[in-house]
Structure 1
């Protein structure tokens, strides 16, 4: 029997997948627990329509991310922080600080989780930081940390 999964089912598939299962497994387990619905022609068309819609949304988001990466690539942001002798900072510059600097300079809201730092910046100077804007779209910006 062909069914459309309504939720992720371990070792069977993800939500929206159309899978072939034994009739008893579908009738006695999947359908009563509302983990799946029987695959009718109308439901299959609906699943296909949703897939196309999701694919177009992802393509649009990737295109926007590529344009943003092109705009930001090679740009620099300046962050001022208090520093002591030898260029060591009192504290550190985190990805949240970098996101705030990007927002201030470019008027863009970049989620701090998209800024990849191995560890917070703890020294004055210029640092290269990677932004992961989409699953396979990244760009590098320079972060200039200067003393107050």
Structure 2
């Protein structure tokens, strides 16, 4: 019986705490080691909410605007966004198309801005645009110089039709030279002089 017990113990390693206890034949006859009691605390991990990356197909309050790529709970996508056709999964193909559209949009925006810059240079190079008005005493003009007259004068010299709503004019009550400007782009403004001259046969 003891021999069998020794044989069994020889195949196992016993520990007290973090210390291994020798269960060899020489120690088998010794008194068993004192048992130690320890408390094992088990803490459950918080459940991880599964997420889904989606592309919004329309504006969603507190979530994003059309075209945004965002992460949402998987259940929210399956139960709300997908049935209402509000969002699509952000697959690799969709993400590639979005990136291509973004690059095309950036190029188009850059082209528009560069065109506005070129126009600003042209206005500065030409320097002045003449508007003829009827005048009265002390060279006071009748009426006023209008944005429509300015964009027409610019068109006559550049061939470019600009929006009169973008023209900013100072008060021009009489003949003379005045500085004006026009908004060509949110980030580009063109400056030039307006020369108010006497209309012939006035």
TM-score range, shorter chain: 0.7 to 0.9
C-alpha change, 1:76 and 1:10, in structure 2 (3 Å) is: farther
* Contact persistence 1:131–1:138 (CA under 8 A): yes
Measure, in 1, the Cα distance between the counterparts of 2:80 and 2:133. Answer: 60
Measure, in 2, the Cα distance between the counterparts of 1:46 and 1:82. Answer: 59
User: Structure 2: which 5+ runs fail to align?
Assistant: 1-51
What is the Cα deviation at residue 68 of structure 1? 1.8
What is the Cα deviation at residue 49 of structure 1? 0.5
Measure, in 1, the Cα distance between the counterparts of 2:92 and 2:71. Answer: 15
User: Structure 1: which 5+ runs fail to align?
Assistant: none
| Equivalent residue number for residue 15 of structure 1 | 66
- Secondary structure of 1:14's counterpart equals coil
| Equivalent residue number for residue 124 of structure 2 | 73
| Equivalent residue number for residue 97 of structure 1 | 149
- Relative to its length, the structure with more strand (as a share) is 1
Larger RCO, structures 1/2 (Cα 8 Å, 6+ apart): 1
| Equivalent residues in 2 for 1:1-148, closer than 5 Å | 1-23=52-74, 25-27=76-78, 30-73=81-124, 75-117=127-169, 121-148=172-199
C-alpha change, 1:43 and 1:105, in structure 2 (3 Å) is: same
Measure, in 2, the Cα distance between the counterparts of 1:24 and 1:122. Answer: 69
What is the root-mean-square deviation of aligned Cα atoms in Å?
Answer: 2.5
C-alpha change, 1:59 and 1:86, in structure 2 (3 Å) is: same
Measure, in 2, the Cα distance between the counterparts of 1:122 and 1:27. Answer: 68
What is the Cα deviation at residue 23 of structure 1? 4.1
Q: What's the TM-score, normalizing by structure 1?
A: 0.80
Measure, in 1, the Cα distance between the counterparts of 2:174 and 2:64. Answer: 48
Measure, in 2, the Cα distance between the counterparts of 1:146 and 1:43. Answer: 60
- Count of aligned residue pairs for this structure pair: 147
Which of structures 1 and 2 has the bigger CA Rg?
A: 2
